[in-house]
Structure formats: C-alpha cells, structure tokens
Amino acid sequence: MSNIMHNQSPSDGVLSYVSQNLRRLRKDSGMSQDALAKASGLSRRTIVNLESGDTNISLASLDRLAEALSTSFVQLVADPQAEPRRIEALAWRGRKAGSKGILLGSVSARREAELWSWSIEPGDSYHPEPDPPGWTEMIFVTVGCLRIELETESITVPAGDFAIYSSAQSYSYINDGESVVRFVRTSVE
C-alpha cells in the first residue's frame, strides 16, 4: 500500500497547510530551497512545488522535511491555529473512497509511550490514581460509548471518536451503557 496522499486538492487535508507551513518554517530556519532539498534528500523541484501547493507527497517525505527543518511532522502539516489535541486532518487518502488516514491529535513525548487495548463491561469502571506530571492519555473508542470523568469535566466518547487529556489528575473510565465498550488507550510521557 502506498503512503502517498492521492487525489487531494491543495485545500484538502494536511496538504492545505503544508505549503504555508513549509515556506514559513524554511524561512524561519534561514534555509534556501536548495539547502532544504539537500538536507531532506528531496529535489528542489519538490520543495518548490510543495511551497506553491502543486504536488502530492509521501508521508515519509514529509517526515524527512520535518527532520531537516528540526520540527515535527505535526508542525509541518497541521493548521497553525488548530489545538494539537484535536487536529482531525486528512493525512492520507487511498485510491478507494473509504481508504484514509486521519491525524486525530498530537502531544509531545519526553520518554515513553504506551499503547493499550481496553474493554469495560456494562456497569463497570476503572478509577486509577493520577499519573505523574507530564503524562497525557489519548483514547479512541472503537465499540460502545465511554464516559471519562476528569477533575474539571466529564467527556462522553462514542465509537469512532476520541479524547486527549492530561492524566496527571484524577480520572475514571465508566461504561454506563448496556453493551461492552472497547477502546485504544495511548499513554505518553
């Protein structure tokens, strides 16, 4: 399977921001288009076309550009005005209509990331102690509906939706529904 973003117009998904972000980040770093091409291993023509919004590019090439600019993939592709915890930008589209990859959100990581698969039966709940400062959780519900109780708010996350929040606070997972809830949990320090 290709990781190239097929059939996206310049105003579609992450490509709508790559052009302006690339130009700004390149200028902020003091690099010419030639210098960025050399540092990233891409052609100058690709850099020129990206900055003008006239090309598709692979996700791996975007990673190489971000590394060459000493920035992150998210900084390169996301709306500069977007909240990083809820980006929701189309990052990849395949040749078939239902094939797509959506960048949901992002958090910075210092040392560790943990990927978990969870299921909670109806009427059950999980009440952990707060994590140390600097920990964040990203939850994506695949089946059912999960209620997350935080110190300051309650978040209801139905199947197909997600939540990102600091886990350095009191929180609970609660299944108020009548069927099992399944979700993917990523903990990041």
Instruction: State the CATH number of the domain containing residue 143.
Output: 2.60.120.10
* Domain end marker among 67, 84, 103: 103
Q: Which residues, in sequence order, are CB contacts of 18 under 8 Å at separation 6+?
A: 50, 53, 57, 62, 76, 77
Residue 13 CA to residue 129 CA, distance in Å, equals: 38
12 — pLDDT class (breaks 50, 70, 90) = low
For position 9, what pLDDT does the model report?
A: 45
* Contact between residue 21 and residue 77 where contact means Cβ atoms under 8 Å apart: yes
Please check whether residues 127 and 178 belong to one and the same domain. yes
CB 55 within 8 A of CB 10: no
Over the stretch 114-128, which tens digit does the pLDDT of each residue have? 889 999 999 999 998
SS3 124: coil
Shared-domain flag, residues 128 and 81? no
CB count within 10 Å of CB 58 equals: 13
Give the pLDDT of residue 171: 95
Whether the per-residue pLDDT at 61 is higher than 50: the answer is yes
> In this model, does residue 4 exceed pLDDT 50?
no
Q: Which two tokens stand for residue 177?
A: 């529904």
pLDDT-derived band at 10 (thresholds 50, 70, 90) equals very low
Domain end marker among 79, 103, 127: 103
Per-residue pLDDT, 7: 40
pLDDT tens, residue by residue, 129-171: 898 888 899 999 999 999 999 999 999 999 999 999 999 999 9
Q: Across-strand partners of 126?
A: 173
Q: Which residue is listed with tokens 């550009």?
A: 65
Range of the domain at 138: 113-188
The CA distance from 99 to 174, in Å, is 32
Q: Give yes or no for residue 56 having a pLDDT over 70.
A: yes
Q: How do residues 30-41 score in pLDDT, each as one tens digit? A: 999 999 999 999
Structure tokens at 99: 């094939």
- β-pair partners for 174: 125, 147
Of the two residues 140 and 99, the one the predictor is more confident about is 140
Phi-psi label, residue 179: left if phi above 0, alpha if psi -120 to 50, beta otherwise: beta
5 inside domain: no
Q: Is residue 9 part of a domain?
A: no
| Residue 1 clears pLDDT 70, i.e. is over it | no
CB 162 within 8 A of CB 119: no
Look up residue 7 and give its amino acid: N
pLDDT in the model for residue 36: 97
Pairwise pLDDT comparison (72 vs 169), residue with the higher score: 169
Hey, is 145 helix, strand or coil?
strand
Ramachandran sector of residue 13 (left: φ over 0; alpha: ψ -120 to 50; beta: rest): left
Question: Does the pLDDT at position 64 exceed 70?
Answer: yes
Residue 91 and residue 132 in one domain: no
Q: How many Å apart are CA 180 and CA 176, to the nearest integer?
A: 10
Same domain, 86 and 43: yes
Cα(161)–Cα(140) distance, integer angstroms: 6
